[in-house]
Amino acid sequence: MGRLLGKYIKPDLGHVIATIVFTLIQYGIQIFALLPESKHLIDHGVADKNMDEIWKSVWVMLALTAGVGVCALLTSYFSARATAGYTRRLRNACFKKVEELTPQEFAALGESTLVTRTMADVTQMQLTVINILRMWLIVPVMIVLELIMIARLNLTIFFILFGFFAVTVFFLAYFGAASRGGFEVLQKKVDRINLLMKERITGARPIRAFRNEKLENRKTMDANEDAYDTAIEANRKINFLSPIALVTMSWVVVVIYMVGTSQIQKGLSSISELLLIFQYVTFFITSLVAVPFLVSTLPKSSVSSRRINELLDYESEVRVEWHEVEAPKERKGEVEFKDVIFGYAGAVDVIANISFKAEAGKVTAMIGSTGSGKTTILNLMQGLYQPTFGDILIDGVSIRGCRDPWLKEYFSYGTQRSMIFQDTVRNNICPDPAMQDEERIRSAMDASCFSEVLADKPEGLDYMMAQGGMNISGGQRQRLSLARVFAKDASVYVFDDTLSALDAKTERNVLKAIRTKLAGKTVLLVAQKISTVQEADHIIVMEKGRIAGQGKHEELLKTCRAYQEIYETQCYLDQEGESK
């Protein structure tokens, strides 16, 4: 926890110092000026029936109270600024780390825990920092100063108060430490709930289609009840803290009243002195009551800080030596795989002996059954995965260990799943406002046939898309996703099965646009249908992570058995459809 505080609150060190200074001034006025002034009021005003002295003390106390109020406002302002800055930097660091994760690392950690760590755990650290600035740094100082002031006035009462205080601290430390493990388990169960909720939202349609609502509700309820039981058990231990502190301090007040009364009767103490001690004791109890709350946050903060550090320090099991790679001097877009082998951590090789060249100005297509390794090859090509063996060249430059921005600029990538953001069509096609060119956007829409969708929309490019593009059909979402690919000025254009939801006519128009609008560019086209890839300049047939054959359509029909099987299956299905 100390590491996170030291690193991310450093830029707001001035606000932290200001918070501490004004808090010390505030409590210094209360302890060393305001409370002693009340004793002066009793001794020299009330006891002597001196109204001038009484009014003088009243005005002094009003001025001191105003000073306390101003310090409290400044403390709240500076602590809020420091906390907000700390939270922003910490959450940005977590988000940046998530962005840097490769798909392999992302899958290893899991989406639900990444959301919990970036949101809930960072929020817990935010509460911790505000408590540190407003209470943790001050409460110990307050307790020590109040004990010192009471010791100066009455040693007997000091030892009584200190004894009860030591007992209270012991119980606070014991129950606080006992609850830490429970909160650690609770955070993992919150991860589980987040995962179930994500599945419920993203899989709403299949759940309803298979009438699995009761099953999913039961799973969510079980996870909630499990987390509920864990939360009850963890909080049961720390819920003893406040009652213990209040009961102990209540007994302190009773004992002090008894001892104080006896001292007054024996003439060992004055009424004004005893009243001042009671005021110090009241402040002491107020400070001590905050301690259980602070102690109860320690286990939660400790767990959250550890989980955040795990994310920020995460390193994949696959060791990769990242280094700077100089961009190719001549940007053609030629991609070459040389005997590439790749396997996920703890798994057998997903692909092996992959060698091919995608030349600039040509369409290279890839076809194969689901799970044959097509998308994995595309991810390797973009540097999202690192090959276990072999090498990948972009315009003759090896990209092994490369994370430089130029590599991302090389590609315009259309994913299998159409990702539509809740924003205007303009911003969905070209997210960067500085790069938005209306002519280029409209040209991209023409190429993807999305212009037809906007034809009856009066808002045009400013038409607002719903979350996930739910206000248009699946095929229209895919057209919008394709427009995003066409709009980017890149050297290599990748279409990862992005034509699957298009009708035959639209698919032909898009393939024609790929030939004309992307002439001179390197195009990699992944598809499941022979009709999509048969006119490509070079076709790669994937089977079980290996290349089963390469060449043109006519060549593969003669030489590649895997391609023949795909062709025969799809032609048979087409003939069956025509006969019906």
123-169 residue pLDDT tens: 888 888 888 887 777 777 777 877 887 788 788 888 888 887 788 77
pLDDT of residue 47: 61
Which has the closest alpha carbon to 21: 70, 54, 58? Answer: 70
Percentage, residues of the chain above pLDDT 70? 92
Q: What's the average model confidence in pLDDT over 261-270?
A: 75
Give burial (CB, 10 Å; 0-12/13-18/19+) of 554: exposed
pLDDT of residue 514: 93
Q: What's the average model confidence in pLDDT over 335-340?
A: 94
- The continuous run of DSSP H or E covering 123 comes out as helix 122-131
Q: Rounded to whole angstroms, what are the CA distances from 85 to 70, 99, 138, 307, 365?
A: 23, 21, 21, 20, 49
Which has the closest alpha carbon to 231: 179, 194, 174? Answer: 179
How many residues are listed for the chain in this entry? 580
Query: Tokens at residue 359, please?
Result: 């030349």
pLDDT band at residue 546 under the 50/70/90 scheme = very high
pLDDT of residue 412: 93
Q: Rounded to whole angstroms, what are the CA distances from 503 to 190, 475, 479, 507?
A: 43, 8, 11, 6
Q: How far is the C-alpha of 391 from the C-alpha of 428, rounded, in Å?
A: 34
pLDDT of residue 73: 92
pLDDT band at residue 289 under the 50/70/90 scheme = low
| Phi, then psi, of 318 in degrees rounded to 5 | -85, 110
Identify whether the C-beta of residue 206 lies closer than 8 Å to the C-beta of residue 275: no
Which has the closest alpha carbon to 466: 409, 428, 522, 521? Answer: 428
Give residue-wise pLDDT tens across range 88-127: 999 999 998 888 887 767 777 777 788 888 888 898 888 8
Cα dihedral across residues 105, 111, 117, 119: positive or negative? positive
3 state DSSP class of 49: coil
Identify whether the C-beta of residue 487 lies closer than 8 Å to the C-beta of residue 441: yes
Burial 54-82 (b: 16+ CB within 10 A, else e): bebbeeebeebeebbeebeebbbebbebb
Q: Which of 154-168, 172-186, 193-207, 336-350 has the lowest mean pLDDT?
A: 172-186
Q: Supply the DSSP symbol for 117.
A: I
Residue 394 predicted with pLDDT over 90: yes
Q: Which residue has the tokens 């039961």?
A: 218
pLDDT band at residue 576 under the 50/70/90 scheme = very low
pLDDT of residue 48: 63
